Chains A and B, each alone.
Chain A
Amino acid sequence: MADDNELLLEVNDLRMYFPIQKGILRQTTGYVKAVDGVSLSIKKGETLGLVGESGCGKTTTGRCIVRVYQPTGGEIVFHDEGEIVDINRLTRQELKTFRRNMQMIFQDPFSSLNPRMTVLELVGEPLLAHGIARGQELEDRVAEMVRSVGLRVEHLPRYPHSFSGGQRQRIGIARALVQRPKLVVCDEPVSALDVSVQSQVVNLLQDLQSDLDLTYLFVAHDMSVVRQISNRIAVMYVGKLVEVAESEELLRDPKHPYSETLLSAVPRPNPHHHMQRLNLEGEPADPANAPPGCVFHPRCRYMEDICQTDVPALVELTPGHHVACHFADQLKLQGIDYARSPRA
């Protein structure tokens, strides 16, 4: 369980701007502000869920944190056994060693594994590359890891194509976790999987988290899955966080109009449920040309004049509940009612 005080990761004002280049001279004509001022923190052993529309910057945020991308600006601070490491200040060499603390699990179990490598090679490669283990020790560690993700040692000499989607995702998980990272960014890890396999992998990720003392940033679009695994949920809209709260609180009592819409759109596996759905009019904002004021204002049903000019800051409305909306304390928004008790 998450220790109340111990922080693992702090992200301050993270920005990732991709240049838009035009013409034969590849002149920069503007920027896609994929991540534009994101601040968040994750405690040791905690799972922070990250949700939001396609293209809002979730993957980019994850990639900046594990330093696949060099962010345009902002601070990423890692608390490593009493030491405080500012990842942006590490030299190339230092970063190389530090990287094993942060790993990523990808959405697509089909394309994220090299088809010409066996399971042993795939899972063993990071150990070899970082000079952590070789020979028999490497094989032992790989075998142990493979068993703990629910695969068998007989699978080690096999190639990815002979596995099902769920099994390939397990290989991906083993490959990420074999280096004993502290933080794992899970980018839509179950979205491509079948319903019955999805729940197996969610359970596996939960078990591994407690066994290996992992901290997760869990990116997904299925709100029900995110809620299952996350202690807290952050809602992102066009490069910015608009709300962060403890999961159950965010579900029952959303404070940002976009979160309200998102929750009302979640399909419920219950034919008797006839909800008042809030339609989200218009197209999502373009991160290369975000609207002034509140980024959500062109689609917001509660918009007032001030929303078109002033950017609302992400403020702590009640302890632990952060919202970026000028009217967060006045609006009465609809969350999920827990009308039903769990199935027997």
Chain B
Amino acid sequence: MSITPIIIAVAMMFGLGIVCSLLLAVASKVFFVEEDPRIAMVEEALMGANCGGCGFAGCNAAAEAVVAGKAGANVCVAGGPAIAARVGAAIGQAVDLDAEPKVAVLNCRGSYRVNERFDYQGIQDCRAAALYWDGAKECGMSCLGLGTCKSVCPFGAIEMGPDHMPVINTNLCVGCGTCVKNCPHHVLHLETLSERLLAFNRTDECVPPCRQLCPAQIDIPRYIRYIKNGMPLAAVETIKERNCMPLSIGRVCPHPCEDACRRRFVDEAVNINHLKRYAADIEMYQGPTLNIRVARNTGKRVAVIGGGPAGLSTAFFLRRLGHSPEIFEMMPKLGGMTRYGIPEYRLPKKILDWECQQVVNLGVPVHYGKKLGEDMTIQSLREDDGFEAIMLGIGCWTSSAMRCDGEDLPGVFGGITFLIGQGLNKPLPLGKKVVVIGGGNTAIDCARTSLRRGADVTLLYRRTRKEMPANMIEIVEAEREGVKFHFLAAPTKIYANKDGNAAQLEYIRMELGEPDASGRRRPVPIEGSNTIMEVDNILSAIGQRADLSFAAKEAEEYRVETTKWSTFAANEQTLQTNIPFVFTSGDVFTGPQTVVKALGTGRRAARAIHLFVTGQEVTAPPSELLKPTPEALIPHITGVAEEPRAHMPELTIAERSLNFKEVELGLKPGQADRESQRCLQCGNVCFDQSAFDELFVEA
């Protein structure tokens, strides 16, 4: 056999090979497309998985996008910071390595309705189920429970939990958004922690009734669920996404949330607020103290005037967003009215100290003894100190006048002045017989405080018990402790004794007439019913106002507009005043309100200030839910077993006498567990019928 054919074959292939490669070589010259060499470098740096998670068609397209500036160096969602650093190096761009990761979050409580997921004629995919009658669920924002998100997640970050709801593993989730795109009911969305801190209830979001009524918009069912699952610290972390003072709020909040609690239609509202206190107490007494995450420093300086709840809240959230707030406080300590108004037996100072310290510990400097209008002005803060924004949260610190003769006599104190004296540990001298005038929290606090100082206390209020603005529980406790109530009575004149001190109070009886603007019936004096009683001291607690006199002294362009109720005028949703860099929050904007409201407005101001200092337009929160949705406030529910509400133990009346020990002792662990199971884990329209049955029917 000759060897020639082999030689010919080899020669032929060799020749053909040469021809082909020459052809390609020429072609690559002729058809050369000017391609940025950086594209190749970037592509090199990418993982080459071609997963499409970034939203571009493969790694090459992603590389082109990066070079074209359409995507950042962190384009590769799967690669994480290491890859981002390599990409950044390839294009010579500094990478934001600490940029906050986006993760998918679930916005559906699911509850019992998820179990109805098998009713879709055998369909096993949420997208398909949604095609038939929109998933056939009562709620258009609900999880359909068929796990499409799980099957589409390229990174295996989603598991379907025991209740057939997706559970997102935040360690695996890279925030590629595939699940978000595939969920037909838009139950999933992507967010960073900062975005979550700045979020306000939305109309297109599932918001349970309690959270709709909470002025701070705390995710109540979620923290209760954490308590139920034995994770009180996670509960505190959830609360602190909205409220930086859970210890204080857990003690003094009038809990409007409980008025909306759906469980009311079964037995009584869930003891939401004391569950909050329970979790927060665990953090303080048992630890470990939460490590609050703070975003990277932005170096934006913001002056926060007033270290009350509003100021603390603004400073807390601005700090968590990475800005540098500084608090200016005229008093020697932080806390505002929670320290100098609310007495020790309701909110012990050492608890308040600890709570304020947590905010300071995030890196918030506090300048004590600095009063706006005396030690600095808005102008000086802006021009000399160079603050980029200013938040005014100075509260309402002046007692309103009674407008009756003799109110300036020695022995007559403003209620606030009296309480501030207590708070400063410099109590004002008090006689045996004390009369408190007013029906709000301040009046009751004055009365109960005087009682503890050994006085015989009478409270005078011009309407009836029903109209008293004080928290109901406060009124009840004051009665039990022995405060005497005189309803439908108003002071007319105060007489002095021969030393010139107040000694007699003349008051007139009242009756209720027509309802006034606030809907409460207006008290009208009954002519000739004047009565005189002997007194040693009179505490006037008929209301507080803000002292805004400094505003008028500012230069023209730094003069903040005020209203006729002596509050600052500002946009309701952004709290921005007529001066673009000046914001306000708390009592000085709303008038005397509650701590939780001050905290809520404080966070709102923080959001607006964040937009302002980062150069964005200061707009209202998108699609904000401004008034409770009717479908959330359903009037009745069925199928839930009764279980009485837990009440926490408190000191007996005898134990309270003549001391300032904290009266309420907090829920016991067993009680808290039980109470947390009473929560129905409501959504906008749904609720869990069975959470409790499962646990207690057999016990």
**Chain B binds chain A:** no
Q: Which A residues have a C-beta under 8 Å from some C-beta of B?
A: none
Mark B residues whose CB is within 8 Å of A: none
